[in-house]
Structure 1
C-alpha cells in the first residue's frame, strides 16, 4: 500500500480533536481517501473499526455483532439496537475509539435518533469517529440545524482531493506536463491515481477510457447515487462541460426551461459539482463551470461515448480524445498555474474578468497598495511575450478599478517563451514546477 500522501493538516486536526473532543465527522466525495486517513489516525490506538453497508439497520447490527464477537472473543453477541452495542463497547477498558465508516448508510436507514441518545447518554469514556461519502445525506441530515446530532459534533472535516502539487509527492520525478495531464483527468482523487503506474499524458487514454476499471464508470455511479432524476443532471453537466456556461445556453442545449434551471443548478452547486463565477468586482451575471477536473474530463471525454466504450467500440472516443485533450488541458493549466502564481503575489482579491467579448484570464488586486496584477495564460511553447503583452495592455484599459491611480504589473504564463520581456514578468513551466515543489516542501515543514 502506498504511503499516505498529504493529509498532514487533517491528521493534525484529528490529533487535536482526540485530546479534547468526543465526536468527529469526516466526510467527502467517494474515493477521496477518508478511510485511509482514519485508518492512519487510529493506527497504534485502541480502536474498533466498523464499516456500514448500504442495507437495513438489522443487517448492519447483525454484521457488527459478528465482527465484535470475533474481535473480542465473545461468542454469540447479538445486539438488538445500536444503543445496546455502544453500552457493550462503553463497558470495555480496551477500547478508546469507535469508527463507523460510511455512516451515511446508517443515516439513510434511519439510525440517527438512536445516535442522538448514544451521544447524549451512553458515550462517556469513548470517542466516536463517523465518516460519510453521500454528500447530500451528510449535509442535510447531519449538519443541518434540525439534525439530531446538531451541536454534538466536536470536529467536522470535509476531505478534499489532493491538490496539484501533491502529485509530485505521489509520483516523485514527474514532469510538469505529465502532472498536468494526470491531474486534469483524475482531479487528484487518490483512488484514481492508484491506476497510474507513471505520471504521463500517454497513460491517461489507457487508464481513463478502459471500461474495466473504476475511473471509467465512477462519475456515473456517484451522480446516480446522489441525485434524483440523474438523466436531467447529466444533461446539464454535459452542457456546462462542453462550454455552454450561461443559463440561456444551458437551456437551449438541454431543452429545460430557463425558469426551471436555477433549481437544478442550485442542487449541483450545493453538492460541489459546479460553481458560479462572476467577473471580478462586477455585479453582472456570471457563468457556470464544472468544479472538479475528474468530472469535467469524464463529462467531456467519456460520457458522450459511454455505451460505445462499454461495448468495446472505442474508435470514436479515442479519436475525439486525441484531437481535443490538449485543448482541454489548456483550461487545467490555467487553473493550476493561476493557483501557483497567486501564491507568489500579495493580493486581497482575485478572479477572472470579462466585459462583452473582452476577457482577462486572471486579475489580482491588492487593495492596501492599490496595485493590480493582470495575468494571461498560454498553454503553448515559444510564446512571443511582446505580442501577448500588447494584447493584454489593450484589454486592461476596460478594467475600471482605480483606473487612474492604480499601479499595474503584467504577468505572462506559458509553457515556454521565445525571449524574456522587459515590461512583463514571464513565468514558464520550469518556474511553475519549482513553485509547486516549494509549496510541497513548505507543507512538509509546517506539519
Structure 2
C-alpha cells in the first residue's frame, strides 16, 4: 500500500513531463521512504537505477555498470561502447565520466530516468564525482531527455555538498524535494483500522516514519503494540535507536549519552555537557550532528532570537518515547517481564502524548489556514515560554501564531487528557497571553475529551475563543 506523498509525486511528474533535461534532488532522513517514493513514481518508466554502495570507486563503478547493462538488456539494446572492459557477465566502464556519457547518449532518443540512490556514498568514494557530474550535465543538458534523480539520507551532506552554494552541482538542479515523515492525517490512512485516538498514539510512537509504521499492527491494542513491536527485545524497533546511531555516526556511545541527558531533562547546552561529562565544544558538535539527523532540534521562544534562551529538545517522537521508557524499564524487559513494563508505560502514555498532541494541533492549524476556520491567515507559529514577573514563575504557551500584523496573535492550549477542558484552562491561557503584549488576541483550545459547559458558555459569550474537539479534527 502506497500512502500520501501527493505533493512530491506531483513535483516529480511535472519534471518528467517537461521532456527536457532535469536534475531532481530527493533527500530526507533515513527510513522516511525516499526510495519507495522514487520507485513508485518510476514504476513502468524506463529507468537506470543505481544504488551506490559504501565501497571504493571500483566497487561503485561495477555496480553502476551492472545497472546500465540491465537497462540495455531490458530495452533490447546492443552494447557498442569502447569505454569499458568486459567481465564474465557485463561490461565495466573505465571511469564515472564514461558511464555518464553512455547514459546521456541513451537519453538522446527517449525519456530516461537515472537514479543514484544514496549519492553521498558515491561522492565519498571519489571526491571528484560531483565535479564530473557537473561537467557531464553542462556538456549534454541542452540536447538530452535525461531525468537525473540524486537521492540521499545524509541531510548535512545533501544540504551542504549537493544543494549548497559551494557545491559543483549548485545551479544544476531543477528541483529539490525534502521528504518529511508522515503527519497525523497520513498515519490515519496508513493504519485505517485504528480509531482516531489510537492512530494519534501510533503517530507519536513512530514519529510518522513509514518503516516504523510498518511495525505497528492496527488490528490489536496500543498496549500490545508497545509490548510486542517496540519493547520486545526481539523486535525490529527495540534496537533501532542504537542501530541508527551506529549507522550514521562514528561515536554512537557519546551520542547516546547526549540523547539520554536531554530525555532526562537537560535542555541547555551547558547543562547537557555537564550531564554528559563533556567539554562544551565537543558537546556542541554532537548536538549539531544530531540536529542534522533530525533527532534533535534547537528551539527559542516564539518571537525571540536570543541565544541565551536556546534549548534542545528531542524532535523525533519515536526517540523521545524510546529514551523515556526503555532505559528505565530495561531490567524488567531483559528479565522477561516486558508485560509489566508495557502496563507501566500505559499508565503515563497521556503525559507522553502532550507534546505529540501539540504537534498534531499545529498540523491542524496549517491544514485549515485557508479554510476560514481561523481568525486570520497564519504566517508563523511556534511554542513560547518565559518568566511571569507578576508571579516570578516560568510559564509556557503551547502554540503562538501570528499573521501579517505581528501584534495580532493566536494563542492555543492543547490538552491530551482524560477529562474535559474547563474554564480554568481558558483563564490561564488569557493570563499567559498578556505576557506577550498583543494588540489583538484570539484564543483556541484543543481538547482530546471535549469541553465542560462552563467553558462552552464562556466561548460563546466572549466571541474571541474557538474550541476544537479532537473528535472533530
2:123 corresponds, among 107, 118, 122, to 107
SS at match of 2:167: coil
Does residue 355 of structure 2 align to residue 339 of structure 1? no
Are the structure 2 counterparts of residues 17 and 309 from structure 1 closer, same or farther at C-alpha, using a change threshold of 3 Å?
farther
Q: CA offset at residue 37 of structure 1?
A: 1.1
Q: CA offset at residue 369 of structure 1?
A: 9.1
- Structure 1 residues 110-125: aligned runs within 5 Å: 110=126, 111-121=129-139, 124-125=143-144
TM-score with structure 1 setting the length: 0.85
Are the structure 2 counterparts of residues 148 and 305 from structure 1 closer, same or farther at C-alpha, using a change threshold of 3 Å?
farther
> 1:13-72 CA distances to partner (integer Å, 9 max, x unpaired)?
112222144211111111211111111222232222222222222112223333433443
How far apart, in 2, do the equivalents of 1:265 and 1:76 lie?
46
How far apart, in 2, do the equivalents of 1:53 and 1:369 lie?
49
Q: CA offset at residue 167 of structure 1?
A: 1.3
Q: Which residue of 2 aligns with 1:353?
A: 384
Q: Which residue of 2 aligns with 1:415?
A: 449
Are the structure 2 counterparts of residues 27 and 400 from structure 1 closer, same or farther at C-alpha, using a change threshold of 3 Å?
same
Q: Which residue of 2 aligns with 1:170?
A: 190
Does residue 104 of structure 2 align to residue 84 of structure 1? no
How far apart, in 1, do the equivalents of 2:27 and 2:445 lie?
38
Q: Which residue of 2 aligns with 1:287?
A: 311
2:10 corresponds, among 12, 17, 22, to 12
SS at match of 1:156: strand
How far apart, in 1, do the equivalents of 2:275 and 2:118 lie?
37
After TM superposition, the structure 1 stretch with the greater mean CA deviation from structure 2, 156-165 or 347-356, is 347-356
How far apart, in 1, do the equivalents of 2:346 and 2:46 lie?
51
SS at match of 2:447: strand
- Structure 1 residues 7-46: aligned runs within 5 Å: 7-18=5-16, 19=18, 20-46=20-46
Give 5+ residue unaligned stretches, structure 2.
Answer: 74-78, 80-88, 388-393, 460-465
After TM superposition, the structure 1 stretch with the greater mean CA deviation from structure 2, 107-116 or 31-40, is 107-116
How far apart, in 2, do the equivalents of 1:87 and 1:25 lie?
20
Does residue 399 of structure 2 align to residue 377 of structure 1? no
RMSD: 2.9
> 1:76-114 CA distances to partner (integer Å, 9 max, x unpaired)?
422122222233333334662211212221112113343
> 1:302-349 CA distances to partner (integer Å, 9 max, x unpaired)?
456679857867478546533443321122112212331453422343
1:182–1:204 contact (8 Å) kept in structure 2: no
> 1:276-305 CA distances to partner (integer Å, 9 max, x unpaired)?
222223455132111222222233234566
Are the structure 2 counterparts of residues 398 and 98 from structure 1 closer, same or farther at C-alpha, using a change threshold of 3 Å?
closer
Give 5+ residue unaligned stretches, structure 1.
Answer: 433-447
Q: CA offset at residue 144 of structure 1?
A: 2.6
2:113–2:147 contact (8 Å) kept in structure 1: yes
How far apart, in 2, do the equivalents of 1:398 and 1:382 lie?
28
How far apart, in 1, do the equivalents of 2:61 and 2:139 lie?
20
2:350–2:417 contact (8 Å) kept in structure 1: no
After TM superposition, the structure 1 stretch with the greater mean CA deviation from structure 2, 126-135 or 392-401, is 392-401
Q: CA offset at residue 165 of structure 1?
A: 0.9
Q: Which residue of 2 aligns with 1:440?
A: none
Does residue 274 of structure 2 align to residue 252 of structure 1? yes
2:150 corresponds, among 130, 141, 147, to 130
> 1:141-195 CA distances to partner (integer Å, 9 max, x unpaired)?
3223332222211222111111111112222353221111111111111111112
How far apart, in 1, do the equivalents of 2:99 and 2:408 lie?
61
How far apart, in 2, do the equivalents of 1:22 and 1:78 lie?
26
How far apart, in 2, do the equivalents of 1:283 and 1:392 lie?
23
TM-score with structure 2 setting the length: 0.81
How far apart, in 2, do the equivalents of 1:192 and 1:377 lie?
26
Q: CA offset at residue 219 of structure 1?
A: 2.8
Q: CA offset at residue 214 of structure 1?
A: 3.2
Q: Which residue of 1 aligns with 2:472?
A: 431
2:248 corresponds, among 226, 239, 242, to 226
SS at match of 1:237: helix
Does residue 232 of structure 2 align to residue 210 of structure 1? yes
1:30–1:133 contact (8 Å) kept in structure 2: yes
How far apart, in 1, do the equivalents of 2:442 and 2:23 lie?
50
Does residue 284 of structure 2 align to residue 269 of structure 1? no
Aligned residues: 427
Are the structure 2 counterparts of residues 235 and 121 from structure 1 closer, same or farther at C-alpha, using a change threshold of 3 Å?
same
